[in-house]
Amino acid sequence: MSAVPGNVGVVTVTAMETGVTVQTQRERLMGHLQGLQQLAVAYVGVVNGLFSTLASLERAGPAELARVAGKDPGYVTRWCDAAYAFELLEEAEPGVFALSSLGDDFRPEAPGTLMPLAVQAVLGAHMAERAAGLTATGERPGERVLAERETLLPWFGPMLEHQFSGVLEQHVLPGVPAFAEVDRRGGLAVDLGCGNGWYLRRLAGRFPHLRGIGLDAFEENIRQASGLAAAANLDDRLRFEHGDLHHFAVDEPADLIAMNRALHHVWDQKQNVFRILREHLRPGGVAVIWEPNWPVDRSILRRPGHRGMAFQNLSEHIQGNHFLRPEEVAAEFENAGMEASVHLFLDDREAVIVGRRKV
């Protein structure tokens, strides 16, 4: 909303605000602010294991909760008040708390956990603060901004896993025919920029003849990926390595090379990336690139499901990246002498571009 110069008290309203008074706008935004605060309180609980600990205790006062969780009683006392205010906790008896059903849903191990929303909210606030400062200078510090807040980095992998593993299982695996070949043939799958390794774990769990190698530039991701593969008894088939994908090399030709939300991180060196993809695939093997589908038509960004993508592209700019259009990725496959096909999912928000090395 903007004031019209020289017309005190007169305001123009944008299309989004049409028919809405200033007072209702304020109330609407205050509701959003409280939503953010609720997610911020939830984040403190997630990171410190307070939801999970309270679930195991069923009910506890702040001192006991702090003791069992191994955290500071002063902070936990204040957190209990805030979590109670935002209806994440119920007071079972004076000074004794239990999880509300909403609080229970924030346990990271709860089915369909709400944890990713709490992590996204705090990650978003961090990125907005960095963008606010950097807009003055134009500096783009790169990937390291993700590691600037020490509590956030370990939650990045779990956040992505919970956001996208269901999409893989329900939409991408059945919707991309190349996976049926992987199921029949088995062989070697490589995941470049593998995060916490969730994608290879899902593939290996589903395709018993598949082996996998994951590579990521963050040591924390590789530590988590190796631990999670071992916990799932998949470490005899999955291996995770720390390193820069620009130097990736393996002796054996791969049947599938995946990059999930990783290509836009290395797009500035795309020639080298597409060379690596082509050279490491066996003839007939496929590269499967999964990226957000940045729309050509800007008005699509107004759709509620797409807004988050526009915000994320602002934070990608800090990291030196930007989101891609699937046609750009397909064109690079063609330039590399590979055959490309594009598959769109979830109201066209998600794009999977498959490049096949010619036989």
Ligand X SMILES: C[S@@+](CC[C@H](N)C(=O)[O-])C[C@H]1O[C@@H](n2cnc3c(N)ncnc32)[C@H](O)[C@@H]1O
Instruction: Of 222, 163, 232, give the one whose Cα is nearest residue 193.
Output: 222
Between helix 50-57 and helix 62-69 the angle, nearest 10°, is 110
Q: Which is nearer to ligand X, 71 or 349 (CB)?
A: 349
- 236 vs 244, which CB is nearer to ligand X? 244
Choose between 105 and 291: whose C-beta lies nearer to ligand X. 291
Nearest-approach distance from CB 298 to ligand X, in angstroms? 23
Q: For ligand X, which is the closer residue by CB, 67 or 239?
A: 239
Q: What is the CB neighbour count within 10 angstroms for residue 280?
A: 21
Q: How far is CA 156 from the centre of its chain?
A: 6
- Amino acid at the residue 355: G
Question: Smallest gap, in angstroms, from Cβ of residue 242 to ligand X?
Answer: 9
Closest distance of CB 79 from ligand X, Å: 29
Q: What is the nearest approach in angstroms of ligand X to the Cβ of residue 157?
A: 6
Contacts of 20 (CB under 8 A, 6+ apart): 13, 28
Which conformational region is residue 35 in: left (phi greater than 0), alpha (psi within -120 to 50 degrees), or beta?
alpha
| Location of structure tokens 């589908």 | 293
In the DSSP assignment, the letter for residue 346 is T
Q: Which residues, listed in sequence order, are joined to residue 218 by a DSSP beta bridge? A: none
Q: Which amino acid is at 8?
A: V
User: Which spans in the chain are helix H?
Assistant: 22-47, 50-57, 62-69, 73-85, 101-105, 115-134, 153-167, 173-175, 178-185, 198-206, 219-231, 270-280, 304-318, 326-335
How far from 272 is each of 238, 246, 257, 276, 341, CA to CA, in Å?
25, 7, 15, 6, 21
Q: For ligand X, give the closer residue by CB, 186 or 243.
A: 243
Nearest distance from residue 348's CB to ligand X, in Å? 19
Binding site for ligand X (CB under 6 A): 143, 160, 193-195, 199, 215-218, 221, 244-246, 260-262, 265-266
- Shortest separation between residue 19's beta carbon and ligand X, angstroms: 39
The minimum distance between CB 35 and ligand X, in angstroms, equals 24
Q: Which of residues 88 and 200 has its CB atom nearest to ligand X in the complex?
A: 200
Token couple for 243: 């390193």
Question: Which residue type does 299 have?
Answer: S
Q: Which is nearer to ligand X, 192 or 281 (CB)?
A: 192
Contact partners, residue 58, CB within 8 Å, separation at least 6: 98
- Nearest residue (CB) to ligand X, 71 versus 264: 264
At closest approach, how far in Å is the CB of 221 from ligand X? 5
